[in-house]
Amino acid sequence: MDAVTDAPSADARPFENVVRPPDAIDLRAEFVESGLAAVLEELDTDLVGLGPVKRRLREIGALLLVDRARARFGLQAVSPTLHMSFTGNPGTGKTTVALRMAQILHRLGYVRKGHLVTVTRDDLVGQYIGHTAPKTKDVLKRAMGGVLFIDEAYYLYRPENERDYGQEAIEILLQVMENQRDDLVVILAGYSDRMERFFTANPGFRSRVAHHIDFPDYSGEELEAIGGRILGGMNYTLSPDAEEAFHRYVDLRMKQPHFANGRSVRNALDRARLRQANRLFNGDRPVTVRDLTTIEAEDILSSRVFSGGIDSYPPLKP
Amino acid sequence: MRLTQGAFSFLPDLTDQQITRQVQYCIDNGWAVNIEFTDDPHPRNSYWELWGQPMFDVRDAAGVMFELNECRKAHKGQHYIRVSAFDSTHTWESLRLSFITDRPADEPGFTLERQEVEGRSIRYTTRAYAANRPEGARY
């Protein structure tokens, strides 16, 4: 059987050297022109907190811009490894940032399509011998030209079962991550401690992932700001009393087990909306627009969090 | 004799870069790209073996090229490989583009057989020289 030449050869970009390089490149102008400025600004306004993450994205953006400028001067510009790992507690915005990451890389021309394919272990690992490789390859094919986001990546590796097919998926992933760096960017996400163990067990992954970004937990104020945004997006407002109640709610909820940052806030507000709807429905007067958009203190205060329980609607049986 | 079936077959073989551009064009039009191979290139043999499954949900040509390279690893030099694009929109539901990407190094071509039948009539038929050998050992 003949050997197959895989990588496209040197004739891949025949027209690149025709344009004479400019004398100087204004990186600021380039920054605005590439649309990167707009994406990063959106990121700043849309996402509350996450200081270190935003700083890291800025750095990566700057690196890519400088690389592009270098390429225009004909300097050696090896396409950088952009595989990333996002670690952090649940609900800290890893998926949201991954989606933004896809946009950023697309604007900068590092991925061609800029779509995000989100997968978990189920989508990569098969159930019987010979099932895993086609499944993993299928996912990789779908993600090419975009970003592959592997949520809870540490589940891929199950040391307790030596016949687990996860290892096969990992090997294929590593191979494609190395050989087709131009075609797709892989983002691994998961909780910090478990990802650390995953990387220790698979050193190949750690060396192929250039950017490790840690997502910090939100502070109380940030969570309240997130809540405000979620409500604003759905045309709800908190009454002043409710705002005070919500402040206390967040403080209490943060100390409880199973706290999932932004996700907990969203769930709490969803439950408050349910209680509000119930209250309006049981009230015996016609409702106004103001009634429909305002969440009152009682909608939040009836949460079981205030009596030391876990929040749920309808209330759990004691 | 060089096999001329499908688009671009009178041109020199497409380079990988050209194939990528063509495939991307198909994907951008919403067509599902298939990779097929055969060692029986008779013009009436319209059903070639399908490599893998039709790629309905691939967004970028790199995914198709990945499969094409896999197919080449298995069949290059012994089979013809072609890429075809299927348009699933209602009322089309058929191939919109098909072109050969790889061919065996040596293509012996076809013979034309004349069969004399009643009243000095002649029936013509073509047969690939390669098809005289068994499947899998033709090229």
Q: So what's the pLDDT on residue A255?
A: 83
Distance from CA of B112 to the nearest CA of A (A): 31
Separation between Cα atoms, residue A311 and residue A306, nearest integer Å: 9
Share of chain B above pLDDT 90, in %: 70
Does residue B137 lie within any of the structural domains? no
Best mutation target, B66, B70, B101, to test chain A (most A CBs within 10 A): B66
Does residue B49 lie within any of the structural domains? yes
Q: So what's the pLDDT on residue A38?
A: 82
Which residues numbered 65-94 in A keep a CB inside 8 Å of some CB on B?
none
Which tens digits make up the pLDDT trace of B30-68?
Answer: 999 999 999 988 989 988 999 988 998 898 999 999 999
Q: Which residue has the tokens 């002649």?
A: B122
Q: So what's the pLDDT on residue A147?
A: 92
Does residue B87 lie within any of the structural domains? yes
Does residue B127 lie within any of the structural domains? no
CB contact under 8 A, A141 and B76: no
> Of the given ranges (A12-16, A208-212, B8-12), which has the lowest mean pLDDT?
A12-16
Fold of A24-215: Rossmann fold (3.40.50)
Which residue range(s) make up the domain with B79?
A: 16-107
Residues of A in contact with B60 (CB under 8 A): 112-113, 144-146, 183
Quote the tokens at residue A170. Answer: 């990992």
- Tally the domains of chain B: 1
- CB nearest B62 (choices: A12, A134, A144): A144
pLDDT of A4 strictly over 80: no
pLDDT of A2 strictly over 70: no
Distance from CA of B97 to the nearest CA of A (A): 21
A133 touches chain B (CB under 8 A): no
pLDDT of A16 strictly over 60: no
Q: Write the CATH number for B39.
A: 3.30.190.10
Complex ipTM more than 0.85, yes or no: no
Q: So what's the pLDDT on residue A313?
A: 57
Give the residue extent of every domain in chain A. Answer: 24-215, 220-307
Q: What is the rounded (10 degree) CA torsion for B39, B42, B47, B49?
A: 0
Contact A94, A88 (CB under 8 A): yes
Separation between Cα atoms, residue B135 and residue B41, nearest integer Å: 12
What's the average model confidence in pLDDT over A32-53? 81
CATH 1.10.8.60 fits A220-307, yes or no: yes
Which tens digits make up the pLDDT trace of A104-139?
Answer: 888 877 888 888 999 999 999 988 888 999 999 999
Which tens digits make up the pLDDT trace of B78-100?
Answer: 899 999 999 999 999 999 999 99
Q: So what's the pLDDT on residue A132?
A: 92
Residues of B in contact with A145 (CB under 8 A): 59-63
Separation between Cα atoms, residue B139 and residue B136, nearest integer Å: 8
Chain B residues with CB within 8 Å of chain A CB: 15-17, 20, 52, 55, 57-64, 66-67, 69, 72-74, 76-78
Separation between Cα atoms, residue B52 and residue B67, nearest integer Å: 8
Quote the tokens at residue A44. Answer: 């700043």
Q: So what's the pLDDT on residue B85?
A: 95
Q: What is the pLDDT confidence band of residue A316, given thresholds at 50, 70 and 90?
A: low
Q: So what's the pLDDT on residue A19?
A: 56
